[in-house]
Amino acid sequence: MFPNTITLGVITLTKIREQDYSSEYLFRNDTISWSMKIRHSRTKETVTKKPQDRHNVEFTLTTFATNLSEEFTSKVYVVWDFRPNRGSSDSAALTAMLNAFIGTPANITSLVGWES
């Protein structure tokens, strides 16, 4: 279980909700709000598909309205989706690749610049 507070950089998020394999954390001050949601689910097995475990982390940044600008919200999330018995081995490799990609500022600039 994750703790009641999570510090990411200079922001400390406090758990405000936990139920049914999900939780939500929040940081809020006069100008911004950060939300982090963690969710877990499992797809159902069908005749043609094995079940998949899905783990999701979502960050939402809300910048509140001022006299000069309107409120706006930005969001980013990642989903790990794999067979239950492959989770621990595949998640480390997938996460390393994701971190290598998003940890390179030029890649993020290209991504939000609509490059593919």
Q: Are residues 51 and 25 in the same domain?
A: yes
Q: Are residues 64 and 17 in the same domain?
A: yes
> Quick one: pLDDT at residue 87?
63
Q: Are residues 78 and 92 in the same domain?
A: no
Q: Are residues 69 and 110 in the same domain?
A: no
Q: Are residues 69 and 14 in the same domain?
A: yes
pLDDT confidence bin for 115, thresholds 50/70/90 = very high
2 φ/ψ angles, rounded to the nearest 5 degrees = -70, 155
Is it the case that residue 36 has pLDDT exceeding 90?
Answer: yes
The percentage of the chain sitting over the pLDDT mark of 90, rounded to a whole number, equals 80
Q: Are residues 54 and 101 in the same domain?
A: no
pTM of the model: 0.87
Q: Are residues 57 and 113 in the same domain?
A: no
CATH number at residue 71: 2.40.160.220
Q: Are residues 61 and 95 in the same domain?
A: no
Structurally, the chain folds into a number of domains equal to 2
Is it the case that residue 86 has pLDDT exceeding 80?
Answer: no
Q: Are residues 78 and 105 in the same domain?
A: no
**Type and span of the H or E element at 102:** helix 87-102
Single out the residue of 54, 50, 62 nearest to residue 38, CA to CA: 54
Cα(90)–Cα(82) distance, integer angstroms: 8
5-8 and 32-42 as β-strands: parallel, antiparallel, unpaired?
Answer: unpaired
> Quick one: pLDDT at residue 83?
83
Return mean pLDDT, the chain.
93
For residue 110, give every residue at least 6 positions away whose Cβ sits within 8 Å of its Cβ, in sequence order, or none: none
Is it the case that residue 88 has pLDDT exceeding 80?
Answer: no
Q: Are residues 28 and 69 in the same domain?
A: yes
The tens digit of pLDDT for each residue in 8-27 reads 999 999 999 999 999 999 99
Tokens of 8: 């990411």
Domain hosting 111: range is 86-116
Q: Are residues 33 and 63 in the same domain?
A: yes
Q: Are residues 19 and 76 in the same domain?
A: yes
